[in-house]
A and B are shown apart, each in its own frame.
Chain A
Amino acid sequence: MKMESARRFTTTHQSITFSRRMMLLGLGQAGVGAVLIGRLGWLSVAENEHYQLLSESNRVQLIIVPPRRGWIVDRRNKPIAINRSDFRVDIIPDQLERPAQTLTMLRQLLDLPADDFQRVLDELKAAKGYRPVQVAENVPYENYAAVTVRLPEMSGVQPMRGFSRYYPAGPAVGHLIGYVGAASAAEYEKEKNPLLITPGFKIGKEGLEETLESRLRGVPGGQRVELTARGKLVRELEPKPDRSGGTVQLAIDADLQEFTARRMGEESGSCVIMDCMTGDILAMVSMPAYDPNSFSDGIGRTEWKMLSEDERQPLRNKVLNSLYPPGSTIKPMGALAILKAGIDPSQRINCPGGYQLGNRFFRCLGRHGSVDMRRAIAKSCNTYFYAMGNRIGYDNIAPTAKLLGLGAKFDLPVVSQNYGTVPDSAWKAKKFETNRRVVERPDWTSSDTLNASIGQGFLIVNPLQLAVMAARIASGRNVQPMLLGVHDSPAPLLGFDPKHLETVRGGMWEVVNGDGTAGASRLPLEGIQMSGKTGTAQVRRLSASATRGQGGDWKYRDHGLFVFFAPSDKPRYAGAVVIEHGMGGARAAAPVAKDALTFLFDRQKALASLAGLEQQWGGTLAERTQRRAEAIKAAALGAAAVPRA
């Protein structure tokens, strides 16, 4: 250290150094002081407006008040979907003081199942601030009261009254109405609406609840409140009222819908009944169905598993999404096409039990001898339709099929429709282009015509289309199926020759009221008759099963179909019934149509006969649903207990 050897450092030097450094230090301190005051001025005066806004948005929060969901009512204003007041319990994360004790206590008081409890824990971990986390909804009053009493010990717990969706008819309207549920993360991402993540707020998840969402939702209100950082309410500022969603009236007849659903019993199938003048859909039933009430407060894993693994597919809307070969039910349509092609309905075809095409023999269901059109429809003679179809060619039949609604996608507020195929030569050529493995040759052959003529082969349709077909034949009008609203003006005429229609309707009258295939399903009513046409759709090739689809394993049995209209002399109602694996239209489907129509004309009589049937099935639909729910609950408890054991 010889740095300053040149000069001795004396007390004087030291004093000078001190003064100099003291001055620098003083300047430095003054500088810091100036910076502080400058910064203070910058923040509080120059940037004041910016920070004032931030402070205001800190202070005032908008608590969303979810609107009440609009009702869904039937054509007579009978409620189908309503809101029931219920109790719910939320947690305000920031007010939770002793999370462990509080949650343990809540779990006991509310009997929360393990997976629900886990969900609450997960949500709480991710939650912050004042935004409530839902613990439970639809809380029974006893549990709710227990929570309310213990409230002083559980800060942050917020018991509330809310509303839950209720469907008085339960499973009977499951597929038609759908259900509501909490919005998923993806749905929130799409809409970015904070309403969607408000606890207790539900959106439509299926069926009409989903498609009518914008009409049913309503407009949320806002409660402007001053909140502390911990989410505690300090005072309420002026609120903005919410607006309930609108009531939506359906064309559906709720009583008929429920009756029909009950009448389906334990069968798997669907039934559509329409007003054949206006197109109003009076009933649209797919059974078995889930209970939308049990979906609205979230469905358990066990219940979901049981529903999705059920071979009768309770999660599938069979009216719109199941496709079947229509079988003989399209013979009236074929007859119209044949008439249109100029063939005389009195012309007779001999049925020796089938039709010889080249070296192939196409079977009929019986030996009908000499049949004319009326008789061919009544007896469902394949040979007649083979012969006539082959004579005019399928390209002359397909337009009529389309005119009657087959293969059509209807303008309905539904989530999805599978609309099947009305084949013709152009369709087949195109199909061959895209999938050579399914279609072995591009040209339309006579055997394609024969198969399609009796409703097999490439022709596949959904039950709604069958109902529309029946309605259009019954009224001769271009009825469009309608789900919303009540209509009273008849649809415009389709332009069929009335004589042709009369002939076909005559055949259909014969089916039920003559010595036709559905003679057992005459309406038990004075002066009101039903016309219809049975059908059987093969599930397997006839040769593949010894029983020809008439027995054996349930899932290999033929489907039973029936299209109908009534009254025969002045058609008002038309529809279609499909009973999956019901073996035959006359045996399984026509009786359902008979009872449903009976209900429309004489409720007492229909309900009396239903009571008898339900006794055989083990209770009413509501009772059986209740029993199933209990079984699911037991199974869920069992499933939950297993991993712990």
Chain B
Amino acid sequence: MITSAIIPRPLARLPWRLIFMITGIALFGVIVLYSAAGGSPQPWAMKQGSIFLFFLGAAVAISYVSEATIKALIFPAYAAIVIMLIGVEVLGFAAKGAQRWLDIGPIRLQPSEFMKPAIALTLARFYELVPASEIKKWRAIWPALVILGVPAALILVQPDLGTCLMVVFCGLTVMYLAGVPLWVFLAPAGAVAVAAPFVYQMLHGYQKKRVDTFLDPESDPLGTGYHIAQSKIAIGSGGLSGKGFLNGSQSHLDYLPEGHTDFAFASLVEEWGFIGGTILILAFGAVILWGMRVSINARTRFAQLAAAGLTACIFFYSGINLLMVMGLAPVVGVPLPLISYGGSAVMTVMFCLGLLMALERQQRTVSRLD
């Protein structure tokens, strides 16, 4: 918040530090995309910049929505997204071997994107309704598992493993913070370990291959492992300060596949080095820390849980992507928000940030009125 006589109050009340931070990250992303296109604003940088500005506006607009409105809308919104996910299964068309899009007139909708913030909000709302005394009871657990399980299953069959994992992680984070007993998390973790081989058998061929490649990237250096190998080369060849802007041979000569989308971080580190990469990671860390503060400072249980869940969403987005790009997690197809080219990740993250800003505004206004 900036206190100044010149700037009008509504503008001054915006969380400017956060906005500068995310604008900074997005600007870095645009620069990376500019370089990935061989030093050209086309076809990515320009579009990505406009998308960001558009959704920044949307986030600021969302920040004016009151907590009460959010609460009132969340269950219907959740239901609507689940119906859309079913609609994707029924009507969706196959693209890139996966049914992820719903074609409604000129707009291509990817309902699973909305589910990431929605799952956090819905579970926050659900646990707000659960009395404290009931929290350790089965009654407080199974509805949450249904709320989480239905969309997760629908997204998994699309198939979109990355999004499914993120939805599950966001949901589990909210449940964890709500105080659900630990065995709810530990028992399934054990079960997953036991069931993993069976689940593996059920995966799609390309997913299986990704798992195989993760366990042994050298097994397929020209196939799926190629991504990881080239990504590591790009990152590793960057050095402390990088090869310099527009000098990344890995991305410019197309050795790094998806250098503008999922592996944009590798392009970034190749040119900006360890320093550039660390700055970006710290910037994301600052955004997440800001979100966590919103949660800690929240006055209502809903705001508390929702803020934490939305922040977790941003954390998992960036965390999974970075782990994947650096060869610490399987390649599951999660973009790096605000850096990777593509509107949906920007949209989701800005959605989360808009809601977080709304919750934060609420804290301030409420605190003032108290």
Which of A44, A55, A128 makes the CB contact (< 8 A) with B277? A44
Q: What is the chain A residue whose CB lies nearest that of B289?
A: A26
Query: By the criterion CB–CB under 8 Å, are A1 and B319 in contact?
Result: no
Interface membership of B79, Cβ < 8 A? no
Interface membership of A64, Cβ < 8 A? no
| Assembly CA distance A30 to B281 (angstroms) | 11
Knowing A8-B133, A10-B133, A40-B269, the reply to whether A22 touches B296 (Cβ < 8 A) is yes
Query: By the criterion CB–CB under 8 Å, are B237 and A52 in contact?
Result: yes
**Stretch in B85-93, B175-183, B203-211 touching the partner:** B175-183
Which of A33, A43, A227 makes the CB contact (< 8 A) with B236? A43
| Neighbouring B residues of A36 by C-beta, 8 Å | 281, 319, 322-323, 326
Which of B173, B273, B281 makes the CB contact (< 8 A) with A33? B281
Which of A4, A56, A228, A229 makes the CB contact (< 8 A) with B136? A4
Main secondary structure of the interface of B (DSSP, over half): helix
Interface membership of B274, Cβ < 8 A? yes
| Assembly CA distance A539 to B308 (angstroms) | 102
Closest Cβ–Cβ distance, residue B269 to chain A (whole Å): 6
Closest Cβ–Cβ distance, residue A377 to chain B (whole Å): 75
| Neighbouring A residues of B273 by C-beta, 8 Å | 44
Query: By the criterion CB–CB under 8 Å, are B319 and A43 in contact?
Result: no
Q: What is the chain B residue whose CB lies nearest that of A226?
A: B253
Closest Cβ–Cβ distance, residue A125 to chain B (whole Å): 14
Query: By the criterion CB–CB under 8 Å, are A37 and B135 in contact?
Result: no
Query: By the criterion CB–CB under 8 Å, are B179 and A50 in contact?
Result: no
Knowing A41-B274, A44-B235, A51-B233, the reply to whether A13 touches B250 (Cβ < 8 A) is no
| Neighbouring A residues of B304 by C-beta, 8 Å | 18
Interface membership of A642, Cβ < 8 A? no
Query: By the criterion CB–CB under 8 Å, are A9 and B136 in contact?
Result: yes
| Assembly CA distance A8 to B137 (angstroms) | 12
| Assembly CA distance A40 to B285 (angstroms) | 15
| Assembly CA distance A50 to B222 (angstroms) | 19
| Assembly CA distance A226 to B235 (angstroms) | 20
Query: By the criterion CB–CB under 8 Å, are A55 and B233 in contact?
Result: yes
Closest Cβ–Cβ distance, residue A38 to chain B (whole Å): 10
Interface membership of A493, Cβ < 8 A? no
| Neighbouring A residues of B234 by C-beta, 8 Å | 55
Closest Cβ–Cβ distance, residue A170 to chain B (whole Å): 45
| Assembly CA distance A508 to B179 (angstroms) | 120
Which of B138, B177, B237, B328 makes the CB contact (< 8 A) with A22? B177
Query: By the criterion CB–CB under 8 Å, are A1 and B249 in contact?
Result: no
Interface membership of B288, Cβ < 8 A? yes
Q: What is the chain B residue whose CB lies nearest that of A128?
A: B222
Query: By the criterion CB–CB under 8 Å, are B277 and A40 in contact?
Result: yes
Query: By the criterion CB–CB under 8 Å, are A228 and B254 in contact?
Result: yes
Interface membership of A11, Cβ < 8 A? yes
Interface membership of B238, Cβ < 8 A? yes
Closest Cβ–Cβ distance, residue A344 to chain B (whole Å): 85
One digit per residue, 1 when the CB lies within 8 angstroms of any chain B CB and 0 when it does not, for chain A 343-359 equals 00000000000000000
Query: By the criterion CB–CB under 8 Å, are B136 and A1 in contact?
Result: yes
Interface membership of A616, Cβ < 8 A? no
| Neighbouring B residues of A44 by C-beta, 8 Å | 235-240, 269, 273-274, 277
Query: By the criterion CB–CB under 8 Å, are A21 and B179 in contact?
Result: yes
Query: By the criterion CB–CB under 8 Å, are A22 and B308 in contact?
Result: yes
One digit per residue, 1 when the CB lies within 8 angstroms of any chain A CB and 0 when it does not, for chain B 214-242 equals 00000000100000001011111111100
Q: What is the chain B residue whose CB lies nearest that of A35?
A: B328
Closest Cβ–Cβ distance, residue A543 to chain B (whole Å): 71
| Assembly CA distance A30 to B250 (angstroms) | 30
Interface membership of B334, Cβ < 8 A? no
One digit per residue, 1 when the CB lies within 8 angstroms of any chain B CB and 0 when it does not, for chain A 1-36 equals 101100011110110011101100110011011011
| Neighbouring B residues of A230 by C-beta, 8 Å | 254
Interface membership of A115, Cβ < 8 A? no
Interface membership of A639, Cβ < 8 A? no
| Neighbouring B residues of A299 by C-beta, 8 Å | none
Closest Cβ–Cβ distance, residue A311 to chain B (whole Å): 51
One digit per residue, 1 when the CB lies within 8 angstroms of any chain A CB and 0 when it does not, for chain B 180-202 equals 01000000000000000000000
| Neighbouring A residues of B133 by C-beta, 8 Å | 8-10
| Neighbouring B residues of A29 by C-beta, 8 Å | 285, 288, 292, 315, 319
Interface membership of A126, Cβ < 8 A? no
Query: By the criterion CB–CB under 8 Å, are A48 and B236 in contact?
Result: yes
Interface membership of A149, Cβ < 8 A? no
| Assembly CA distance A37 to B236 (angstroms) | 13
Q: What is the chain A residue whose CB lies nearest that of B308?
A: A22
Interface membership of B255, Cβ < 8 A? yes
Interface membership of B94, Cβ < 8 A? no
Of the listed residues B132, B281, B284, the one surrounded by the most CB atoms of chain A closer than 10 A to its CB is B132
Interface membership of B295, Cβ < 8 A? yes
Knowing A40-B269, A128-B222, the reply to whether A54 touches B237 (Cβ < 8 A) is yes
Which of A32, A128, A229 makes the CB contact (< 8 A) with B319? A32
Query: By the criterion CB–CB under 8 Å, are A39 and B326 in contact?
Result: yes
Which of B132, B236, B274 makes the CB contact (< 8 A) with A52? B236
| Assembly CA distance A5 to B223 (angstroms) | 56
| Assembly CA distance A358 to B312 (angstroms) | 116
| Assembly CA distance A230 to B253 (angstroms) | 8
Interface membership of A146, Cβ < 8 A? no
Closest Cβ–Cβ distance, residue A37 to chain B (whole Å): 6
Q: What is the chain B residue whose CB lies nearest that of A53?
A: B237
Query: By the criterion CB–CB under 8 Å, are B236 and A11 in contact?
Result: no
What are 6 A-B residue pairs whose CB atoms fall within 8 Å in the complex? A21-B176, A22-B295, A33-B281, A44-B237, A51-B233, A51-B235
Report which B residues bind A (CB closer than 8 A): 132-133, 135-138, 173, 176-179, 181, 222, 230, 232-240, 249-250, 252-255, 257, 269, 273-274, 277-278, 281-282, 284-285, 288, 292, 295-296, 301, 304, 308, 312, 315, 319, 322-323, 326, 328
